[in-house]
């Protein structure tokens, strides 16, 4: 496994590769969810993983500084699965005077976009840069960040990017909590309470299966369940059209049921798709 820090070195290695390249962009502090993407990327001849905590996708009051980092641990986890790890510094990605941004309109306006202004501009910009640097045949993203997947897919189509984007299923803890680097922030009580998120998403799926099509009814039942958990503070719960990501009144598949909930200082997101 080669670890490279500069764009020039990454490009040089890319030019030496033969066959297909699978790319998994990450912000590090890896867990089983990331590793499932890397294992899937092994369907390619070469696997590249990037580790870069992208400052431009964090708001001024968000957790950029405290975002968990452990490079030696990450590299040990990747050693047997990855050919190249790209780990640029901020000055490499955003040199002084940097002033170019990628902005996807429309589907970035609701959900995470509404509560994290500027987040998707940072994501779209860094993903574009990483794809340009790595030049993959296929790139792999986790469905836990459902809106991110939709934004990147739309961007790739509309900017005529020549690659395949693959969304992989959310990997969950035994109690259903979606794996996330941010789970490490949760204290034991919050961690126990956080299991309510997947219970609420499962409830939505069950109600739908039993014939409930009214989004408001489902949202109220989900909210009531989450509110039984005293440590949970709901940021949003949404049932949206699976393509436009706009909230719906009547649930028609594919519908994205998604939520953001705070436990103390930790903001967790999760989702399921109906239909």
Q: Which of 5-13, 121-129, 160-168, 196-204 is the region at the interface with ligand PAF (rule: CB under 6 A)?
A: 121-129
Q: Which of 19-27, 92-100, 157-165, 189-197 is the region at the interface with ligand PAF (rule: CB under 6 A)?
A: 19-27
* CA 181 – CA 14 distance, rounded (Å): 28
* CA 244 – CA 132 distance, rounded (Å): 27
Q: Establish whether 119 is a catalytic residue.
A: no
- Asked if 145 interacts with ligand PAF (CB under 6 A), we say yes
User: In Å, what is the CA distance from 14 to each residue of 6, 129, 139, 156?
Assistant: 12, 15, 15, 20
Pick the catalytic residue: 31, 34, 119, 220?
34
* CA 228 – CA 199 distance, rounded (Å): 12
Q: What angle do CA 223, 225, 227 make, to 5 degrees?
A: 65
x/- letters, 26..55, toward ligand PAF (CB under 6 A) = xx--------------------------x-
Q: Which of 24-32, 183-191, 195-203, 255-263 is the region at the interface with ligand PAF (rule: CB under 6 A)?
A: 24-32
* CA 148 – CA 167 distance, rounded (Å): 10
End-to-end, the C-alpha distance of the chain in Å comes to: 40
- Closest distance of CB 207 from ligand PAF, Å: 29
Q: Which of 21-29, 37-45, 63-71, 263-271 is the region at the interface with ligand PAF (rule: CB under 6 A)?
A: 21-29
* CA 271 – CA 165 distance, rounded (Å): 19
Residue among 36 and 148 whose Cβ is closer to ligand PAF: 148
Residue among 126 and 218 whose Cβ is closer to ligand PAF: 126
- Asked if 126 interacts with ligand PAF (CB under 6 A), we say yes
* CA 102 – CA 122 distance, rounded (Å): 8
Residue among 54 and 238 whose Cβ is closer to ligand PAF: 54
Question: Which of 10, 123, 151, 203 lies at the binding interface for ligand PAF (CB under 6 A)?
Answer: 123
The position carrying tokens 């436990």 is 263
- Closest distance of CB 123 from ligand PAF, Å: 5
| Residue 177, H or E segment | none
- Closest distance of CB 209 from ligand PAF, Å: 30
* CA 15 – CA 69 distance, rounded (Å): 30
- Asked if 128 interacts with ligand PAF (CB under 6 A), we say no
- Closest distance of CB 27 from ligand PAF, Å: 4
Question: Which of 25, 33, 110, 136 lies at the binding interface for ligand PAF (CB under 6 A)?
Answer: 25
Query: In the structure encoding, which two tokens stand for residue 239, read together?
Result: 């049932």
* CA 219 – CA 225 distance, rounded (Å): 10
DSSP assignment letter at 172: B
Binding positions for ligand PAF, rule: CB under 6 A: 25-27, 54, 57, 123, 126-127, 145, 148
Catalytic residues: 34
């Amino acid at each position: 496994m080669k670890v490279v820090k500069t764009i020039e070195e990454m490009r040089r290695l890319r030019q030496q590769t033969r066959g297909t390249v699978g790319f998994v962009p990450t912000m590090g502090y890896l867990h089983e969810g990331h590793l499932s993407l890397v294992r899937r990327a092994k369907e390619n001849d070469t696997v590249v993983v990037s580790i870069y905590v992208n400052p431009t996708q964090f708001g001024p009051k968000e957790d950029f500084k405290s975002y968990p980092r452990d490079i030696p641990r990450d590299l040990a986890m990747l050693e047997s699965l990855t050919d190249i790890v790209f780990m640029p510094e901020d000055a490499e990605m955003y040199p002084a005077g940097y002033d170019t941004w990628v902005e996807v309109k429309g589907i970035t306006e609701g959900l995470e976009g509404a509560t994290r202004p500027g987040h998707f501009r940072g994501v779209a910009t860094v993903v574009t840069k990483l794809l340009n640097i790595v030049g993959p045949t296929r790139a792999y993203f986790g469905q836990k960040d459902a809106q991110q997947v939709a934004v990147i897919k739309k961007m790739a189509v509309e900017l005529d990017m020549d690659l395949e984007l693959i969304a992989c299923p959310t990997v969950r803890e035994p109690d259903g909590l979606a794996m996330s680097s941010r789970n490490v922030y949760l204290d034991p009580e919050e961690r126990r309470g956080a299991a309510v998120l997947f219970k609420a998403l499962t409830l939505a799926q069950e109600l739908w299966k039993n014939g409930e099509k009214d989004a408001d009814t489902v949202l109220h039942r989900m909210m009531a369940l989450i509110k039984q958990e005293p440590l949970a503070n709901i940021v949003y719960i949404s049932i949206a059209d699976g393509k436009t990501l706009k909230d719906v009144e009547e649930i028609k598949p594919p519908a994205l049921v998604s939520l953001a909930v705070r436990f103390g200082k930790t903001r967790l997101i999760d989702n399921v798709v109906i239909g």
